[in-house]
Structures are given as structure tokens and as C-alpha cells.
Amino acid sequence: MARAVTTQRKIINTTVAWMVGLLIFFPILWTILTSFKTEATAIADPPVWFFFDWTLDNYRVVQARSDYSRFLWNSIIIAGGSTFLGMLIAIPAAWSMAFVPSKRTKDILLWMLSTKMLPAVGVLYPIYLIFIKFGLLDTRIGLTIVLMFINLPIMVWMLYTYFKEIPGEILEASRMDGAGLREEILYVLTPMAIPGIASTVLLNVILAWNEAFWTLNLTAAKAAPLTAFIASYSSPEGLFYAKLSAASTMAIAPILILGWFSQKQLVRGLTFGAVK
């Protein structure tokens, strides 16, 4: 698929690519810039770009007013916990669907996906009532369970597509070579499935980290993760843009760094199977 590309063409392509990239990145850039401004500069019209008095005041205020580390810890527990729990269920589920499918496997997969089409707010009321009944409101465990269920269909689907790519004959070959079930899983299946498992974990940590609907509705003070931390800085009146931006930057920084270092895995995970 080699195509001759002229230098001029390359320059145009590169410029357009950078422009699109900047356009997508702009809100994040603007948030980060705003977080270093004073509240007055933040709402200045015309907007100030780079030449303002850079200040860390917002971060100080935010840190003083609320305990960032507590929110961060909640986020880590909830995102990590829901992903871990989900994988415990999703791996065996995807495993059996990929390697010992039944007549109904396709239907089950579609049904699982269909639950993602339901607007979340449609089940907010019943879930809220269940949470009250079981005393799960504003608990990390409650939120972990809800987010696990919300993301479970995606985990099973992703893993299923990965496992599907592992040819059954290779597993049979290992059986012929004298491997028992344990050796087959340990030495053949897992090494071949690790890239898939890794990108599924990664994507779901990100999804759970960014999940705002359920975290805002089901938590108050104790179990609130970083999404609630951001939301607490918006208010109907007064100047809050700079502080909100500082809170946002602090909230997205960990996941942004994680995403940056694992972007190769992530892209592979999202486009897997598209190109052989």
C-alpha cells in the first residue's frame, strides 16, 4: 500500500493533523492554563493566553479547602476495585464464550451490549432505592459494585474479541503436547491473551475514573471520588473558574499520565481486530 507522497503533501498533512490534535486538546490546555491564573484573569475579556502572572494560589486554596488525597484515594479504590472485580467475572465469562460457545452465546453477548443502550438515568431511581435499602449510599463498596456492573459488558466484549483471535488449534496442540488444563492456561493461553487483558484493564480503569453520573448521584462526602471533587468547585455565583480549573487539572492528571504512558496499548485495544 505504498503511495508516493510529495513533500508538499506531507507538510499539509502534518499541519492538518496538528490542527485537529490541538483542537481536541484545547479544552484540556485551556483548563490547565486557567488553573494558573487569578480568578480575575480567568474571566478576562478578551481572554489572556500565556502572558499573565502565573500563580499557584488556586492549587493552595483547593488543597486547603478540600483534602485532595482523600478524593484521589477514593478514585483509585473505586476505579481499581471495579476493574479488578469485573475482570474476575469477565475473564471466565469471555473464556467460556470464546472457547466453548453454546447456541445462545451470540444472544447473550448482544443482550449484554443492549444494556449499554439504556440511559443510565432510567435506572437511577431503582438503584438509589436499593442503595438506601442496603445502606450502600456514599460507600466505596457500593460505588465499586455499580461501576463494575456498568462496565462489565464492555469488559466481556473486549476480552471475548481478544480470546476469539486465539486459534483453538493452538490450545488443542498444547493438549496433544501433554499439557493439562493448568499448564494450558499458564503457558499457552495467558501469554497469548496478556495484551488483550492489559488493554481491557486500562480502558476500564479510565472509564471508571471518569464516570461522573453515578459517582455524583450516589456519593456525598465519604466515598466521593475526584469527579465529585471537581463538581464541588462549581457554584451558581461568585468567581470559581480558576479554582475549578485547578481542581480539574489535579483530578485528570493521574489518568492523563497513565494514558500517555500506555497509549500504544490503548490504541491497540480499541482498534483490535480492525486490521489483521
The closest of 161, 200, 163 to 185, measured between CA atoms, is 163
Tell me whether residue 70 or residue 268 sits nearer to another protein (CB atom). Answer: 268
The closest of 121, 141, 122 to 131, measured between CA atoms, is 141
- Binding part of the chain for another protein, among 93-101, 162-170, 215-223, 244-252 by CB under 8 A, reads 162-170
- Binding part of the chain for another protein, among 82-90, 149-157, 164-172, 230-238 by CB under 8 A, reads 164-172
Phi, psi for residue 237 in degrees, rounded to 5: -140, 170
Smallest gap from Cβ 167 to another protein, in A, equals 6
* The binder of another protein chosen from 66, 80, 183, 268 (CB under 8 A): 183
The closest of 99, 274, 273 to 170, measured between CA atoms, is 99
Strands (E) across the chain are located at none
How many Å separate Cα 60 from the centre of its chain? Answer: 28
Cell of 160: 471475548
- Binding part of the chain for another protein, among 9-17, 50-58, 180-188, 242-250 by CB under 8 A, reads 180-188
* The binder of another protein chosen from 126, 135, 178, 238 (CB under 8 A): 178
The closest of 58, 67, 64, 60 to 35, measured between CA atoms, is 58
* The binder of another protein chosen from 172, 222, 263, 267 (CB under 8 A): 172
Q: What is the rounded distance in angstroms from the CA atom of residue 159 to the CA atom of residue 193?
A: 9
Tell me whether residue 100 or residue 176 sits nearer to another protein (CB atom). Answer: 176
Tell me whether residue 67 or residue 172 sits nearer to another protein (CB atom). Answer: 172
Residues that bind another protein (CB under 8 A): 167, 169-170, 172-180, 183, 187-188, 191-192
